[in-house]
C-alpha cells in the first residue's frame, strides 16, 4: 500500500540494566551485562519514545525525527546524512518542536544512496538509510552510531477508470499523483449523521437537505482532498450544454446560498481526506426534473508546497480537469425529485359553476324585465 513505511533503529549504545524491567522497551543481553533499548525507545530507562515520521509524497521522500532523540545520543545535526554524505539533514521547527529532517526528491534517490528499487507487478519500494557519522575523539570513538532505515512503498500499476463513472448509489474515480493511484468516491447519505448511504437512486423532496460525501477511500493517509467545483445538470454528461445547469461550488467556495460544509474534526475543504457538504433540494423549471451531480476534486500531497485550502475571495470560471492527473471528475445520478400528486381543489369546480349560476340569474332577470316591458307597452296601447 502506498505510503507504508518500515523503520528500524540499530543502536550500539547500552542502557541501564538495573532499570530494564519492561521487556517490551529494553532487551537484556545473554550475559545480562548490558541492555539495549527496543526499536522506537531510548533513554537510560528506555522510557522515551522516538518520534520518527516518514512521508511518502508525490515527488519527495521525507524523514523527520525529534531532536531530543539525537541529543540523547550526542549526535549533532551536522553529522546526520544518507549513504551519500552530501545528502544531509537540517533542523526545522514543527509546531514549536525541533526536528532533524532529510527531504530528497525522487530524482535524487539513487545519487543519495538509495537501495536498488524493488518492484513486483503491483508495487515499487524506495528504501533509504539515515545514519550518523562517527564522533571521533583523537583516535577513538565512544558514542554510538545511529542507523534508521525507512521505506516508501507505492502502487506500481495504474488502475483504469471510466471517464464518466455514473453509479446510482456511489461514484468513484482513480486519480494519479506521481506514482500513486488514489481512489476517490462520492456518495449521498440519508441524513446528517452520514451513517447510511443511498443504495439506489435517491428520491428527495424539494427543500429537503441533500447530504454529499466525497472521500479518498484508498491512500487516505497520504492525501488531502479539495472539492473544487460541484454543479447539477439535467444530463448525465457533465460538460453537456443542453438543458439547465446550476452551480453549487466554484473554486472550492459556496456558490449556492443553501450550501453548507460540515465542520468536523476531520478538517475543512482541503484539510482532510473526507469532505462533507449539504444543500437544499431543488428542481429545474423545465423537464426533466431529475438531477445529475458532478464534482471536480483535486488531490493534495501532505508535503506539497502548493496550497490546498481554497481562498474564497474571487470566483472564476470553472476550470477544466482534462490532462491533469491530480484532478478528477465524479458524477452521481440520477437524483429524483419527489413531487407528490396533489388532488384538484373543489374551488376550481365551484368557480365555473358559480359563473353559470350568475349567468343564468342574469338571463332570468333580463327575461323578467322584458316581459314587464311588454306588459307596460300593451297597457299604453289600450289607453
In a domain, 375, yes or no: no
19 pLDDT exceeds 90? no
In the three-class reduction of DSSP (H, G, I as helix; E, B as strand; rest coil), residue 236 is classed as: coil
Is 32 found in the same domain as 80?
no
66 pLDDT exceeds 50? yes
In a domain, 349, yes or no: no
**224-259: buried (b, 16+ CB within 10 Å) or exposed (e) per residue?**
bbbbbbbbbbbbeebeeeeeebbebbbbbbbbbeeb
**CATH assignment at residue 101:** 2.60.40.3210
Is 88 found in the same domain as 39?
no
Is 82 found in the same domain as 10?
no
Q: What is the pLDDT of residue 121?
A: 60
In a domain, 44, yes or no: yes
- The residue among 95, 128, 155 that closes a domain is 155
Q: How far apart are the first and last CA of the chain?
A: 120
Number of domains in the chain: 3
215 — pLDDT class (breaks 50, 70, 90):
confident
32 pLDDT exceeds 90? no
Tell me the HSE value of 319 on the side-chain side, using a 13 A CA sphere: 15
Is 233 found in the same domain as 124?
no
For all residues of the chain together, what is the average pLDDT?
75
1 pLDDT exceeds 60? no
182 — pLDDT class (breaks 50, 70, 90):
confident
In a domain, 363, yes or no: no
- What are the helix (H) ranges across the chain? 67-72, 347-382
Q: Higher-confidence residue: 266 or 217?
A: 217
Cell of 188: 449521498
360 — pLDDT class (breaks 50, 70, 90):
very low
In a domain, 138, yes or no: yes
Is 197 found in the same domain as 135?
no
Angle at CA 313, nearest 5°, toward 323 and 175?
25
Q: What is the pLDDT of residue 258?
A: 94
Domain that holds residue 292: 171-311+323-338
**CATH assignment at residue 249:** 2.60.40.4100
**260-291 per-position pLDDT tens digit:** 998 766 677 888 888 999 999 999 888 888 88
- Rounded to 10 degrees, the C-alpha dihedral 190/193/194/196 comes to -50
In a domain, 371, yes or no: no
pTM over 0.85: no
Amino acid at each position: 500500500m502506498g505510503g507504508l513505511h518500515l523503520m528500524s533503529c540499530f543502536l550500539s549504545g547500552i542502557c541501564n540494566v538495573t532499570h530494564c524491567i519492561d521487556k517490551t522497551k529494553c532487551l537484556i543481553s545473554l550475559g545480562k551485562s548490558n541492555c539495549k533499548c527496543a526499536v522506537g525507545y531510548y533513554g537510560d530507562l528506555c522510557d522515551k519514545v522516538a518520534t520518527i515520521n516518514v512521508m511518502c509524497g508525490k515527488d519527495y521522500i521525507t524523514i523527520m525525527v525529534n531532536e531530543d532523540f539525537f541529543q540523547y545520543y550526542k549526535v549533532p545535526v551536522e553529522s546526520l546524512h544518507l549513504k551519500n554524505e552530501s545528502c544531509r539533514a537540517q533542523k526545522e521547527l514543527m509546531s514549536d518542536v525541533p526536528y532533524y529532517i532529510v527531504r530528497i526528491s525522487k530524482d535524487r534517490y539513487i545519487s543519495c544512496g538509495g537501495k536498488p528499487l524493488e518492484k513486483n507487478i503491483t508495487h515499487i519500494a524506495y528504501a533509504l538509510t539515515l545514519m550518523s557519522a562517527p564522533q571521533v575523539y583523537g583516535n577513538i570513538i565512544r558514542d554510538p552510531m545511529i542507523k534508521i532505515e525507512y521505506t516508501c512503498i507505492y502502487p506500481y500499476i495504474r488502475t483504469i477508470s471510466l471517464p464518466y463513472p455514473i453509479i446510482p448509489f456511489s461514484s468513484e474515480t482513480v486519480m494519479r499523483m506521481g506514482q500513486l493511484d488514489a481512489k476517490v468516491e462520492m456518495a449521498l447519505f440519508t441524513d446528517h449523521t452520514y451513517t447510511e448511504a443511498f443504495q439506489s437512486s435517491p428520491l428527495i423532496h424539494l427543500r429537503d437537505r441533500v447530504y454529499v460525501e466525497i472521500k479518498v477511500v484508498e491512500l487516505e493517509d497520504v492525501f488531502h482532498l479539495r472539492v473544487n467545483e460541484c454543479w447539477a445538470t439535467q444530463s448525465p454528461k457533465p460538460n453537456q450544454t443542453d438543458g439547465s445547469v446550476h452551480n453549487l461550488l466554484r473554486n472550492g467556495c459556496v456558490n449556492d446560498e443553501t450550501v453548507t460544509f460540515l465542520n468536523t474534526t476531520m478538517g475543512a475543504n482541503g484539510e482532510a481526506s473526507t469532505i462533507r457538504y449539504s444543500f437544499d433540494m431543488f428542481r429545474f423549471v423545465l423537464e426533466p426534473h431529475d438531477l445529475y451531480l458532478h464534482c471536480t476534486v483535486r488531490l493534495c500531497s501532505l508535503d506539497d508546497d502548493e496550497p490546498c485550502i481554497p481562498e474564497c475571495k474571487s470566483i472564476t470560471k470553472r476550470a477544466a480537469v482534462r490532462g491533469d492527473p491530480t484532478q478528477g471528475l465524479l458524477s452521481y445520478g440520477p437524483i429524483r425529485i419527489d413531487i407528490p400528486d396533489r388532488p384538484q381543489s373543489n374551488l376550481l369546480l365551484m368557480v365555473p359553476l358559480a359563473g353559470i349560476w350568475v349567468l343564468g340569474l342574469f338571463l332570468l332577470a333580463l327575461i323578467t324585465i322584458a316581459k314587464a316591458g311588454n306588459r307596460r307597452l300593451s297597457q299604453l296601447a289600450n289607453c
